[in-house]
Structure 1
Amino acid sequence: MNAVAVHRFEPDSPGAGLVALLTAYHLRTEAEKGVPVSDPAALPARYRAEIEDPRAAFADDVVLVARHGDAAVGCLVVTAPADGRAELKRLWTVPELRGHGVASRLVGAALEHAVEAGARTVALSVWEWRTGALALYGRLGFAVVDPWDERDGLVCMERAV
């Protein structure tokens, strides 16, 4: 799918597409955890904060947005490196474009950014039931590591850059 472009979410970027992606991500994640909510207002406060003001919630991070034409079709957050390690968070692509390389492009752009920012490794955590994401990360060179987050069902992965 060549018509997908990945760009950095800047302060003057249109925010509605990112908000919709983050909302879908959090609603789906809560449903997969067994605590479905139908209204974003019922999400935990830390997730509502990301939806209500992503610029503030990710002020120290880089947010990447994939676009297909004018539509936002994917997002990914890259944290600033700490002790040489950046973290990927909130990878989400719209379901109808999964399998078309959107997530791979987002991760590729994130890895490039991490290198430019001085990271030596990039880490992430993913729920064990997200088998497609686990397979993608494995194909992109991430390996399972000892967990830094002890929540049940969370898989921690890392790769050098």
Structure 2
Amino acid sequence: MSTTDAPSVVVHRFDPDSPGDGVTALLTAYHLRTEAEKGVPVDDVAALPARYLAEIVDPSSAFAGDTVLVARHGNAAVGCLVVTAPVAGRAELKRLWTDPELRGRGMASRLIGTALTGLADGGAHTAALSVWRWRTGAIALYEGLGFAVVDPWDERADLVCMERVL
């Protein structure tokens, strides 16, 4: 891949007052894909578990106090990452999603890098995340960015918990 193949992506914080921000579509794609990968495909967004539906319907409320990063390619939202507010110096990264057609071009790394820089600048000392065991590409990405598998804090089957010291 040459540098001309890489999309020009700008990462910014989600603006809850901007309905065209694209976060809803990104979260919808993330949750529908995740449910399908778990073996419980959902054809209608309304059939998603309530906690996931709440994120789609009202991301501003669902992620109040958290930071939502959005990657843009031109005018299109093509990636997102939620960074929870740190508790005792530890924050969690979740809901990483990038447009499947643009994967492999560094967007996820840029989202995570922006999150890690913001956390370190804000005084957090640990970034944590959980990822489904079958998302081997994501696990390899996280390991390449310095995350290591740790004892689980979430006991759901097939979930891998990882952390990185900042």
TM-score (norm 1): 0.97
Alignment correspondent of 1:39:
44
Partner of 2:69: 64
Question: 1:112 Cα shift?
Answer: 1.1
- Corresponding residue number in structure 1 for 2:11: 6
Give matches, 1:77-96, under 5 Å: 77-96=82-101
Q: Figure out how many residues of one structure are paired with residues of the other and give that number.
A: 161
What SS does the corresponding residue of 2:19 show, helix, strand or coil? coil
Of 104, 126, 136, which aligns to 1:131?
Answer: 136
CA RMSD in angstroms, aligned pairs only: 1.0
C-alpha contact (below 8 Å) 2:98/2:108 kept by paired residues: yes
Separation (CA, whole Å) in 2 of partners of 1:107 and 1:38: 30
Deviations 1:96-126 (A, max 9, x none): 0010001000000010111122210000000
**Residue 153 of structure 1: aligned partner:** 158
Q: What letter is aligned with 1:154?
A: L
Deviation at residue 14 of structure 1 after TM alignment: 3.4
Tell me the TM-score normalised to structure 2 length: 0.94
Q: Secondary structure at the match of 1:122?
A: strand
Counterpart residue type for residue 100 of structure 2: P
What one-letter code is carried by the residue in structure 2 that aligns with 1:23?
A: T
Compare 93-102 and 115-124 and name the one that shifted more. Answer: 115-124
Counterpart contact for 1:4–1:67, Cα < 8 Å: yes
Give unmatched runs, 5+ long, in structure 1.
Answer: none
Structure 1 stretch displaced more, 118-127 or 9-18: 9-18
One-letter amino acid matched to 1:9: F
**CA deviation map 1:107-153 (0-9, x unaligned):** 00010111122210000000000011000000000000000001110
Deviations 1:13-66 (A, max 9, x none): 335511000000000000001100011000000000000000010011000000
In structure 2, stretches of 5+ residues that fail to align are 1-5
Asked if 2 retains the 8 angstrom alpha-carbon contact of 1:80 and 1:117, the reply is: no
In 1, Cα distance between equivalents of 2:80 and 2:145: 17
